Chain A
Amino acid sequence: MIKVGLVDDHPLFLEGLNKLIVASGIAEVIFAAKDGKECLRQLAFNYPNVLLLDINLPDYSGIDLCKEIHDCWPQVNIIALTSFGEYTIVRKMLDNGALGYLLKNAMPEEILQGVETVAKGETFLCHEIDVFMKRDSHRHVFLTPRETDLLRLIVKGYTNPEIAVELFLGVETINSYRKNLLFKLNARNTAVLVKMAIEEKLI
């Protein structure tokens, strides 16, 4: 039987998920943690075959936690179970070692199918994410640390001279970086850049 660990900060959701998995007969729940700390404590004693991991946890970013768990316990197959459907988040979770990605609006059968597939070491994306990830417009844009710093300040409404002071750089340098961002994100102007940064969670 597949051993499953659950991590989610909403007790009601945790309870529902627990019941769903137990009732399926294909898996058993060996722990249900309400935050990242508890999850790490449990992992020190119990290895589940599959870990269903929420991304928005009170004490941890699920994205960082995913990497930490994947590095320390590579035998644990991780599925992100979350309400976030943004490209960057899915990409980051998969890059950090998650094998599966399920949205919280997925049907119960889809969740169980995900658990079974990922337990075999195969990848599983719920239908909505699968379709979304295959869309051409969502190419993976890698931003360098400086580009990310700059984007963060642009979103905060800083002007080029203000950014130059903040980052100890020349205005010319800031200008080049701003042009790089516009080019890489295929944005016509700063307003579009800000919109994309927020929508795609690039910062």
Chain B
Amino acid sequence: MDERYEVAIFRIAQELVNNAIKHSKSRQINVQVIQEQERINLVVQDNGIGFNPDKLKDKNTSGLNSIRSRVESLKGQLDFFSEPQKGTEVQVNFNF
């Protein structure tokens, strides 16, 4: 696999796990990486307090920005799913 994807997945996972530890108050964090010939997919999911994803649009924290720019620069796809009290699930996908 291209080293750029490797670094991106590692850094994004690190940032997402950090965020979950810092903010989610969850008891469990699940990190899943699926690598296939034509793609790599990362999911970081927690069962914590969640948040309203609409508020994410106005957030410009450095951690979040770095995730967005890493995903954009490699033409990947980033999705946040969250609801208050229902945990958070973030998916990143890169097609090679």
CB distance from A146 to the nearest CB of B (A): 5
B43 to chain A minimum Cβ distance, whole angstroms, is 6
A-B pairs under 8 A by CB, number: 42
Q: Give a binary string over B13-32; 1 marks a CB under 8 Å from any A CB, 0 the rest.
A: 00000000000000000101
Q: Chain B: how many interface residues by the 8 Å CB criterion?
A: 16
The secondary-structure label for the interface of chain A is: helix
Of A144, A170, A172, A177, which one neighbours B45 at CB under 8 angstroms? Answer: A144
Query: Is the pair A179, B39 in contact by a Cβ cutoff of 8 Å?
Result: yes
Closest 10 CB pairs of A and B: A176-B93, A144-B45, A173-B79, A146-B89, A183-B34, A172-B77, A144-B89, A180-B34, A146-B81, A176-B41
Q: What are 21 residue pairs bridging A and B, where the CB atoms are less than 8 Å apart in the complex?
A: A144-B43, A144-B45, A145-B86, A146-B43, A146-B45, A146-B81, A170-B77, A170-B79, A172-B93, A173-B77, A173-B79, A173-B93, A176-B39, A176-B93, A179-B34, A179-B36, A179-B39, A179-B41, A180-B43, A183-B34, A184-B34
